[in-house]
Amino acid sequence: MNFDPMKIPWSLLGLVIVFTIGMFIRGIVPKITARAGMRIGIRFYQPWIDLIKHFSIQTSITHGVMFYLGPVFRLTGGVSMILFMPLIYGSWYFSNFAFAGDMVLFLYMMFFGTLGMALGAGESGHPYSAIGVSRGLAQVTVAEIPLVLALLSVAAQHNTLSITEIVAAQQGGISHWTMVTNPVATMAGMLALLGSMMNSPFNVVLAPQEIPVGPPTEYHGTFLGIMNTNRSIFPVAKVVFFMNIFFGGATNWGILILKSFIIYMWPVFVGLVFPRFRVDQSIRWFLKVPMLLGILAVALI
């Protein structure tokens, strides 16, 4: 398949839509969690206000080149993930650049932003940043195990690594969804999703409630603005990916919004119920049930 310049504006449009979805979800989710905790919560448009605030802060400092590039890496990673993702099945306009790569590309693209931002945060010289990165990396190595097993299972089931083709194979009703045809893999994958959505019990990496631990500690102003932009894109990209792999994809934007919102809420609800793990605890947890489910998923193919 060759590169068509007309893809560019359509992909950008898709990106903007995804970004908007992400911003709304990020407004609604804190509201829901607050209500669950008997609080009132923020306004649903608060993320927009924050974003404008961050971008309008002019005076800013930098700790060096890598520090400067960190957020760039971060956002590039998130945006690229969307750009390589077929958003709407059957739509030429919103299939983006999915033809350039497949599931493997998506999996490794996830690390592009993470690693880049980790490096940027590292240059700030703040120990909390490094600690956060160290925790995050350790956790992701095991959260990946059930995910990879589940994805291999799905890929073997459909005989392809291409996301588009996997979605295609699931068309024709809910009974064709991977969720139904390969439930074990779906369970493994959904458990793996918990590990990467920065919700309790796996959110010790950022530890958002307490001291500002985690990679973004030293970032502020425009830097933080860019990173917050990414926070509205990156999780949605992941969720859309899960939707495509396990839940039949989407044939229009409405379905996409609905499905991705529901998938997004899964780690949120789990987070509301369960307290936080230490990193070594979460590692052990992933090595138990999720990994066994993953192995089972592969074994059943």
Site for another protein in 131-190 (CB under 8 A): 131, 133-135, 137-138, 140-142, 144-145, 148-149, 152-153, 155-156, 159-162
Instruction: Report 6-35 residues binding another protein (CB under 8 A).
Output: none
Q: Does 296 bind another protein (CB under 8 A)?
A: no
Q: Does 123 bind another protein (CB under 8 A)?
A: yes
Look at phi and psi of residue 249 and say left if phi exceeds 0, alpha if psi is from -120 to 50, else beta.
left
| ∠ CA 145-101-112, rounded to 5° | 60
Q: CA 273, 278, 279, 285: dihedral to nearest 10 degrees?
A: -50
Name the residue among 195, 114, 254 with its Cα closest to residue 122. 114
Q: CA 157, 175, 267, 233: dihedral to nearest 10 degrees?
A: 80
Q: How far is the CB of 264 from another protein (least distance, A)?
A: 23
Q: Does 127 bind another protein (CB under 8 A)?
A: yes
Stretch 76-105: interaction string toward another protein, x if CB under 8 A: x--xx--xx------------x-xxxxxxx
Using the contact rule CB under 8 A, the part of the chain among 109-117, 175-183, 190-198, 234-242 near another protein is 109-117
The residue (of 32 and 115) whose beta carbon lies closer to another protein is 115
Listed in sequence order, the residues at least 6 apart from 10 whose beta carbon sits closer than 8 Å to its beta carbon are 92, 93, 94, 96
| ∠ CA 140-146-149, rounded to 5° | 125
Sole binder of another protein in the list 16, 34, 92, 108 (CB under 8 A): 108
Both tokens of 113, joined, read: 């932003």
The residue (of 105 and 257) whose beta carbon lies closer to another protein is 105
In degrees rounded to 5, what are phi and psi of residue 212? -70, 75
In degrees rounded to 5, what are phi and psi of residue 246? -105, -25
Both tokens of 140, joined, read: 């992701």
Q: How far is the CB of 181 from another protein (least distance, A)?
A: 17
Sole binder of another protein in the list 24, 48, 111, 253 (CB under 8 A): 111
User: Are 113 and 259 spatial neighbours (Cβ–Cβ below 8 Å)?
Assistant: no
The residue (of 48 and 112) whose beta carbon lies closer to another protein is 112
Count of residues binding another protein (CB under 8 A)?
86
Which one-letter amino acid corresponds to residue 120? G
User: Are 27 and 42 spatial neighbours (Cβ–Cβ below 8 Å)?
Assistant: yes
Q: How far is the CB of 147 from another protein (least distance, A)?
A: 10
Sole binder of another protein in the list 61, 173, 254, 275 (CB under 8 A): 61
Sole binder of another protein in the list 47, 122, 271, 290 (CB under 8 A): 122
Instruction: Report 201-260 residues binding another protein (CB under 8 A).
Output: 212, 217-218, 221-223, 225-226
Q: How far is the CB of 113 from another protein (least distance, A)?
A: 10
**Structure-token match 């066994």, residue found:** 292
Name the residue among 219, 154, 216, 239 with its Cα closest to residue 188. 154
Q: How far is the CB of 203 from another protein (least distance, A)?
A: 15
